[in-house]
Amino acid sequence: MIGPGSVVGFVGTGVMGAAMAGHLLDAGYSLRVHNRTASKAAGLVERGAVWCPSPGAAAMGADVVITIVGYPADVEDVYLSPCGIIESCSPGTILIDMTTSTPSLAMRIAREALEHDVVALDAPVSGGDVGAINAKLTIMVGGEREAFDAVEPLLRVLGPNVVFQGAPGAGQHTKMANQIAIANNIVGVCEALVYAESAGLDPRLMLLSICAGSAGSWQLTNYAPRMLEGDFAPGFYVKHFIKDMRIAKAEAELRHTILPGLDLALEMFEELSRRGGDDRGIHALYLLYKARSVPAYYIGADDDEA
């Protein structure tokens, strides 16, 4: 039985991971933590987590291993490299990758895990840093149903909306659908604002009219005010969103599925990245619309033109 008292190896204690690991500590789980930058795990170690020098070390003796790292290459590294998680964990361990990564890698890890008598789930999240901090994440899970059932109570510590989506990779595919919806929607939020401003409206009054109706969305309610305030702090990094959109585009192309809205959004975010926007939040797309009418407009986070 997995529950309070169980040992959880936790790899990746960035902004989101640290908050999530903290909730597990609060709920009574015993944590073994590793992070590439050790200082980011210090707060958890002070609260009783055991520091481990590698992902494999964090997995040793754990009942469950959770990873939330940066890119698919990082996921591959922590799970599949020699002395990585799969080689280090005990038979029967349940591995949960919560990174947004590729469905094909999730399937590969699930296969390799089975060969070592462990089960791997892909369980990416949405809700961002705020969702992680407030334990309000949405968690979309692919893998074996039995393993999902075993860890569902643990996952519910991190957020109320935990849904089993199907076979290995299904969690990642669900996250891709989520990102595709966001990609198109953030374009719409920018364009509604830019239009309103160019037409001479007070954009805040405009938002009062449109947020509550059929144009309403989480993005509009949460990001449009920040765009208007010039607050482009992440939140959700442009560079990570580009990674996600590239995965979604590649997966769609594999299936000959044409998604012109996603393609357009990705092109715009890639231009935003080329202009220095990688470390902004995704709502900095608004600056690209501004930049297009201002030559040599720099979008990077170091200046404060916003």
Looking at the Cβ atoms of 59 and 132, the one nearer to its own copies is: 132
Contact between 272 and 285 under an 8 Å Cβ cutoff? The reply is yes
Q: What is the dihedral of CA 8, 14, 19, 23, to 10 degrees?
A: 0
Binding of residue 52 to its own copies (CB under 8 A): no
- Residue with the two structure tokens 């979604």: 248
Is residue 198 a contact point for its own copies (CB under 8 A)? yes
300: its two tokens: 């990077």
Tell me the one-letter amino acid at 42. Answer: A
User: Smallest distance, Å, CB 119 to its own copies?
Assistant: 20
Q: How far is the CB of 261 from its own copies (least distance, A)?
A: 4
Count of residues interacting with its own copies (CB under 8 A): 73
CB of 152 to its own copies, least distance (A): 14
Q: Segment 126-145, which members bind its own copies (CB under 8 A)?
A: 126-128, 131, 138, 140
Pick one of 222, 240, 297, 306: the residue that binds its own copies (CB under 8 A): 222
Query: Quick check: 295 binds its own copies (CB under 8 A)?
Result: no
Residues with Cβ within 8 Å of residue 197, at least 6 apart in sequence: 203
Is 100 an interacting residue with respect to its own copies (CB under 8 A)? no
CB of residue 148 to its own copies, shortest distance in Å? 13
42 binds its own copies per the rule CB under 8 A: no
> Concatenated DSSP letters for 187-205?
HHHHHHHHHHHHTT--HHH
Q: Is 195 in the site for its own copies (CB under 8 A)?
A: yes
Catalytic position from the list 40, 136, 175, 290: 175
Query: Among residue numbers 233 through 252, which ones bind its own copies (CB under 8 A)?
Result: 236, 248, 251-252
Contact 58, 65 (CB under 8 A): yes
- Report the C-alpha gap between 116 and 104 in whole angstroms: 19
Which region holds residue 83: left if phi is over 0, alpha if psi is between -120 and 50, else beta?
Answer: left
Cβ neighbours for 142, distance < 8 A, ≥ 6 positions apart: 103, 106, 121, 122, 123, 165, 166, 167, 168, 169, 170, 171, 172, 173, 174
Active site residue 249: no
Task: Select 112 or 251, whichever has its Cβ closest to its own copies.
Answer: 251
Tokens of 66: 């959770």
Residues 201-220 touching its own copies, rule: CB under 8 A, are 201-202, 205-206, 208-210, 212-220
Q: What is the DSSP string of 260-295?
A: HHHHHHHHHHHHHHHTT-TTSBGGGHHHHHHHHTST
Q: Which of residues 251-290 bind its own copies (CB under 8 A)?
A: 251-252, 255-262, 264-265, 268, 289
In the complex, what is the shortest distance from the CB of residue 179 to its own copies, in angstroms, rounded to a whole number? 8
Kindly report each contact of residues 205-209 with a partner whose C-beta sits within 8 Å and lies 24 or more positions away, as own/partner.
none
Site for its own copies in 155-194 (CB under 8 A): 161, 163-166, 170, 173-174, 176-185, 187-194
Using rule CB under 8 A, residue 298 touches its own copies: no
- Active-site positions read 175
